[in-house]
A and B are shown apart, each in its own frame.
Chain A
Amino acid sequence: MQLANVVGHATATMKHASMTGWRLLVVQPLTTEAKPDGEPQLAVDSLGAGVGHRVLICNDGAGTRQLLGHKNSPVRWFVMGICD
């Protein structure tokens, strides 16, 4: 789990079947100093996080597959919570 900034969103028509109907956010993981940590990632979101929000993202692939209800999903990151 890591803190991240929501920096944008993405749409896709051609995608893995497990991603159908899910919001796709562009999130930038952060270091402890709140500096960008690596490259931006795509994360699925069920909480309605928007651009500018600080979120908690989780890279548990098994958790994501459970969330999406699909055993074969290639998605790893999902938005776990929105920080106050």
Chain B
Amino acid sequence: MRIAEVIGTVTLSRCHPAVQGYRWIISVPFSLKALKNQTAPDGEDIVVLDELGAGQGQKIGVSEGVEASMPFHPHKKPLDAYCACILDSVTVQ
């Protein structure tokens, strides 16, 4: 899971039937440098399926790859990023 900051949301007018009705957020992953210096995230933004209700500016844990669709197993969904947790605190030294 990468740590990312929520910067926005996406809505879809038409979508794959398996992912209808879900909430989508845009998030930007943090590099080690950005986490250490507590600056803005500096990765490439990704769209993430969100079931927890993450809000603008919050830090989240983004699960990627096969694990992104595991919460829906045995149902198959075409996902590559899933918001697994909303982080209350991230301490990096």
Contact = CB atoms under 8 A, between A and B. Distances in A.
Interface size bucket, B side?
35 or more
Interface string B58-85: 0001011111101111000000001011
Contacts, number: 107
Contacts of B64: 76
Contacts of A36: 32
B89 interface: yes
A72 B87 CA distance: 20
A40 B36 CA distance: 11
B10 to A, nearest CB: 20
B43 interface: yes
Interface in A23-37: 24, 26, 28, 36
A26 B29 CA distance: 13
Interface residues of A, number: 31
A65 B3 contact: no
Interface string A1-31: 0000001111111111001000010101000
A12 B32 contact: no
Interface of A: 7-16, 19, 24, 26, 28, 36, 39-43, 51-52, 61, 65, 71-77
Interface of B: 1-3, 29-32, 35-36, 43, 52-54, 61, 63-68, 70-73, 82, 84-93
- List the 4 shortest-distance A-B pairs measured between CB atoms, nearest first: A15-B85, A8-B92, A74-B63, A12-B85
